[in-house]
Amino acid sequence: MFATGIENSCPTIDGGRMRRDEMDACGHYARWKEDFDRVQALGLSFLRYGPPIHRTWLGAGHHDWSFADTTFADLAARDIVPIVDLCHFGVPDWIGNFQNPDFPALFADYAAAFARRFPWVQLYTPVNEMFICALFSASYGWWNEQLRSDRAFVTALKHVVKANVLAMRAILGVRPDALFIQSESSEYFHADNPRAIGPAEVLNARRFLSLDLNYGRRVDSQMYEYLLDNGMTREEYHFFLGQRLKHHCIMGNDYYVTNEHRVWEDGRTAAAGEVFGYDELTWQYYDRYRLPVMHTETNLAQGPNGDEAVYWLWKEWANVLRLRNDGVPILGFTWYSLTDQVDWDTALREANGRVNPLGLYDLDRRIRPVGQAYQKLIADWREVLPTQSVCLQVPVVRPRRYAQSWAAGQRSEASAGLARTPTEPHDVQGG
């Protein structure tokens, strides 16, 4: 599944008084049709995309679907498969922020309402980058609640992951053959010296928390104590252990040059650059969860030479091929995003209006060198990979085939499977 994305990030900053709406900043509301044209021009059939949650979800059971109706109808007419981002770093003003304990149940209702309105949609990322969302909002103090404590982080994390789990269940109630592609950041922390080994080990255990909870895997003992010490109850923890949704999931993981960190003995961290790379980090996550994998985000700025992003694309694709050849069931690759972004050089926490040259196209919708390179990569590889292993193909129903009898049969079989309670035990290693 070769893909790109149109980012619908919308966290708030400045004590909740300012919203960072990337769809607005990048001109998508006015130029969405041009953007979809450019997706097709690249030869892509998959698009990470979702409605702007703060403009769509106006209250409990109250929605404005006007923009989503227009854009999703156009995607269906083009036979582009959306991987739907429902919550991307922000919530509507009336929810408040991720400290709100009502958010999970309310969000599940929103997800179900979306699924009912667009029943032909099959692929979802209910909550994007759950770990990063909680970290930046409640540990670093950058977004939304802008808190800086372990207790606030654990509170945000348990609400975000529970929202994701309940949304998956709600969507399956409408579309029983739905598939969920988690988009989660792949992280690693390198100890700077022997005295930093302990802090690095804690951070390397904490990076797995969102996916451990989401997939019902028992967390490490140190992290169990950390969660309970910071406000998670035993009942809340056992809620996550009781879930059986892993078999509907693809482990999407994101990798950027900023995803590896150097750690000092006092717990300070700094960007380490690419040390292990996507191959090694993905093996660590795959070994833990044993799920099919999709590379769901990467990019690099087009630098002064003009070919820096092109070279990064080549390296990431080489890592994907290495993983696939070594036996990891990797199903897709994504350059994120379609167009340049705005203010991600400060992680959206400053409103500078600075354009970051990270896209396949610039904000005038002119193709960048990395866009041309990705277009060629897709053309070269899209017919080769399926012939290597037909078992590494996702049972996706394209929008135009949703009403066909075989697709209806697939949904019926999936519904019958959901009616049977899975009996498989927790895996021995993890949960």
DSSP-derived secondary structure for 260-301: EEEE-TTS-EEE--SSS-HHHHHHHHHHHH---EEEEE----
Q: Which amino acid is at 43?
A: G
| pLDDT per residue as tens digits for the range 162-216 | 999 999 999 999 999 999 999 999 999 999 999 999 999 999 999 999 999 999 9
Q: Please report whether residue 373 resides in a domain.
A: yes
More confident residue, 19 or 423: 19
Q: Please report whether residue 357 resides in a domain.
A: yes
Q: Which amino acid is at 277?
A: G
Report d(CA 53, CA 34) in Å as an integer. 22
Tokens 């003003």 identify what position? 93
Which residues does 415 contact at the CB level (< 8 Å), separation at least 6?
Answer: 176
| pLDDT value for 299 | 98
| Residue 388 clears pLDDT 90, i.e. is over it | no
Q: Please report whether residue 313 resides in a domain.
A: yes
Number of domains in the chain: 1
Crossing angle for the helix pair 308-325 and 278-289, to the nearest 10 degrees: 40
Cβ 297 vs Cβ 183: under 8 Å: yes
| Average pLDDT rounded to a whole number, residues 261-265 | 97
| Residue 431 clears pLDDT 50, i.e. is over it | no
Crossing angle for the helix pair 221-229 and 150-174, to the nearest 10 degrees: 100
Name the pairing type of β-strands 293-297 and 249-254.
Answer: parallel
Q: Which candidate, 253, 49, 288, 19, places its Cα nearest to that of 132?
A: 253
| Residue 422 clears pLDDT 70, i.e. is over it | no
Which residues does 45 contact at the CB level (< 8 Å), separation at least 6?
Answer: 1, 2, 79, 80, 81, 398
Cβ 252 vs Cβ 333: under 8 Å: no
According to DSSP, the residues that pair with 25 across neighbouring strands are: none
Q: Is 125 exposed, middle or buried (0-12, 13-18, 19+ CB in 10 A)?
A: buried
| Residue 76 clears pLDDT 70, i.e. is over it | yes
Q: Please report whether residue 83 resides in a domain.
A: yes
Report d(CA 45, CA 80) in Å as an integer. 5
DSSP assignment, residue 390? G
Question: Domain range for residue 69?
Answer: 2-419
Q: Which amino acid is at 170?
A: A
pLDDT band at 419 (very low <50, low <70, confident <90, very high): confident
| pLDDT value for 412 | 87
Q: Which candidate, 125, 145, 128, 127, places its Cα nearest to that of 136?
A: 145
Report d(CA 39, CA 375) in Å as an integer. 10
Cβ 137 vs Cβ 97: under 8 Å: yes
| Residue 283 clears pLDDT 80, i.e. is over it | yes
Cβ 179 vs Cβ 123: under 8 Å: yes
Calculate the alpha carbon distances from 287 to 58, 275, 293, 381, 388 in Å.
41, 19, 11, 26, 23
Report d(CA 344, CA 22) in Å as an integer. 10
| Average pLDDT rounded to a whole number, residues 92-120 | 98
| pLDDT value for 135 | 98
Tokens 């694709």 identify what position? 317
Cβ 65 vs Cβ 55: under 8 Å: no
Cβ 28 vs Cβ 6: under 8 Å: yes
Report d(CA 320, CA 75) in Å as an integer. 27
Cβ 365 vs Cβ 339: under 8 Å: yes
Q: Which candidate, 203, 352, 175, places its Cα nearest to that of 265?
A: 203
Report d(CA 127, CA 138) in Å as an integer. 16
| pLDDT per residue as tens digits for the range 20-32 | 999 999 999 999 9
Report d(CA 319, CA 325) in Å as an integer. 10
| Average pLDDT rounded to a whole number, residues 323-341 | 96
| Residue 146 clears pLDDT 80, i.e. is over it | yes
Q: Please report whether residue 278 resides in a domain.
A: yes
Q: Please report whether residue 427 resides in a domain.
A: no
pLDDT band at 428 (very low <50, low <70, confident <90, very high): very low
Q: Which CATH number belongs to the domain containing residue 402 in this structure?
A: 3.20.20.80
Q: Say what the pTM is.
A: 0.94
More confident residue, 12 or 426: 12
* 156 sits in which H/E element: helix 150-174
Q: Please report whether residue 429 resides in a domain.
A: no
| pLDDT value for 413 | 87
| Average pLDDT rounded to a whole number, residues 404-422 | 81
Give, rounded to a whole angstrom, the gap between the first and last alpha carbons of the chain.
Answer: 30
pLDDT band at 394 (very low <50, low <70, confident <90, very high): confident
| Residue 423 clears pLDDT 50, i.e. is over it | no
The percent of residues in the chain predicted with pLDDT above 70, rounded, is: 95
Q: Please report whether residue 430 resides in a domain.
A: no
Neighbours of 144 (CB within 10 A): 25
The percent of residues in the chain predicted with pLDDT above 90, rounded, is: 90
Cβ 110 vs Cβ 171: under 8 Å: no
Q: Which candidate, 325, 328, 430, 299, places its Cα nearest to that of 384?
A: 325
